[in-house]
Amino acid sequence: MISGCHPDPSVCRVGEDYYLACSSFEYFPGVPIFHSRDLAHWRQIGNALDRPTQLRLPETMPSSGGVYAPTLRHHDGRFWLITSNVPHRGTLIVTADDPAGPWSEPVHLPAVPGIDPDLAWDDEGNCWCTYAGIAQVRIDPVTGRALEAPRRLWSGTGGQYPEAPHLYRNDDLWYLLIAEGGTEQGHAVSVARGPAPTGPFEPCPSNPILTHRGTDNPIQNTGHGDLVQAHDGSWWLVFLGARLRGGTPGWHVLGRETFLAPVSWVDGWPVVGEVGLEMKGPSLAPAPWPDPPVRDDFSTPTLAPQWISLRSRTPDRVSLAERPGWLTLRPGARSLDDPGVTFVGRRQGHLNARVRARIDAAHGRGGLAVRLDEQHHYAVEITGRTATARARIGPLAQSLGERALRGGPVVLRIEIRASAASPDHPRQEPDVVSLGVEEDDGRFVPLAELDGRYLSTEVAGGFTGRVIGMYVGAGTVEVDWYDYVGDDDALPDF
């Protein structure tokens, strides 16, 4: 439903409009917000945490730290979003009249120590915050003050890491939806119900209601769900999953993505329908958005909401005004190995992708990179009149092919080609990443071709997926344009 690294989805409906939020981890701005009118077509309309006063992500924070698992709700005419900044500042709430923003300054909740916080209101106006563990506390969401001591609720069927709780009222019962089993291939969604938001809760006899563990389904790691009732009365579950590729044990390179599945109610319990790569969508009237432009020529006053940076973004390091029509980057740290590097990128959203950027590095050093974290990234970098392909895999850093340049702006290019869906051998790579430069006639000159498994969660660890963008290590680097073409089937010009 939403491809690329968009995990931990939370959805709410307002009339015939749907809004969804996802985790963002070490990237700034934080918590992307999406809008749909049919549950099938989505577009990003903003980020909930887009100001430094809302979101502090220090350079000491490791990759895959930061903003975890928001819950998005609409209550009493206002949007409410609760999330956690791990390990800094803990749980926070922001609110907005318009989900596109602006969102308020955060209200902090010192009495909520866990991750994956949820908000639910009962008919008496009580606000219940339930969080990973699974524990619950009644709060004042305006001040963040706890109104009573936390209590333990139902913690699932015995799987590890009970988390991602969401509370709903359906008819006269309250339902507690959780994830358990860890966010890897043991991930699952389970549910319990009770007479009140505080329980007591009885588990569904068919738990888990969603899991792909032990199956050959091409979508794995399924869990962390949120229910929504559409305006035609149908019910749906948004949840995270991963598209594993290659041999064994399989590698997912895009991160955990957002999927959609139908839900029916049987004997008072939600039943999740079959999940596959191709499914029948909702029966709502189709409401597609215009296709996003292939190219961003940086002619707008501000960056589009899809652009993300590492931990912070300040005008002295990232500017659209310094050279009109260009994105100007100035260094924070000297390389992609350092958490303080200046980097501006977009999430890889397709199994096959081609990314091109026209870069002027006459007065600096920098380039175009595919990043997973500080220890796992590939890049093609301009230094003086030389383009060099570079790879960092764990403790190993390698300079690969080089090409002399004439000087002036250069088009750098990265092509990612997914390997066959049915592996030829047990260790087959998920994809191949080619790094190089583009000649004036459009011919691609690869400087290196690298196995994509080393930029996967199964190798690097953590919770994120690939982000492709520009960086600077010294001086000034200016970007004329960036374009992205992607498809889950092999593109004909690859």
CA–CA separation, 165 and 121 (whole Å): 14
Position 163: which residue type?
E
> Residue 259: which residues within 8 A CB-CB, separation 6 or more?
1, 219, 222, 238, 239, 240, 241, 275
For residue 249, whether the previous peptide bond is cis, meaning omega lies within 30 degrees of 0, is: yes
Quick one: which of 451, 447, 413, 456 has its CA closest to 433?
451
CA–CA separation, 314 and 324 (whole Å): 17
Tokens of 368: 């175009």
CA–CA separation, 242 and 221 (whole Å): 6
DSSP secondary structure, 299-327, as one string? -SSS--TT-EEES---TTTEESSSSTTSE
> Residue 401: which residues within 8 A CB-CB, separation 6 or more?
388, 389, 436, 446, 447, 448
Tokens of 262: 């139908």
Phi, psi of 383 (to 5 degrees): -130, 115
**Residue 391: strand, helix, or coil:** strand
- DSSP letter (8 states) at residue 189: E
Segment holding 20, helix H or strand E: strand 17-21
CA–CA separation, 153 and 150 (whole Å): 10
For residue 150, whether the previous peptide bond is cis, meaning omega lies within 30 degrees of 0, is: no
CA–CA separation, 411 and 409 (whole Å): 7
CA–CA separation, 76 and 214 (whole Å): 43
Question: Is position 140 annotated as part of the catalytic site?
Answer: no
Tokens of 232: 């035609």
Radius of gyration of the chain (CA): 23
Give the angle 34-91-261 at the CA atoms, nearest 5°. Answer: 35
Which one of the listed residues 26, 118, 163, 431 is annotated catalytic? Answer: 163
CA–CA separation, 304 and 24 (whole Å): 16
Question: Is position 8 annotated as part of the catalytic site?
Answer: yes
Tokens of 402: 């080089």
Within 10 A of 184 (CB to CB), how many other CB atoms are there? 17
CA–CA separation, 40 and 1 (whole Å): 6
187-215 as b/e: b if 16+ CB within 10 A: bbbbbbbbeebbbebeebeebbbbbbbee
- Catalytic positions: 8, 163
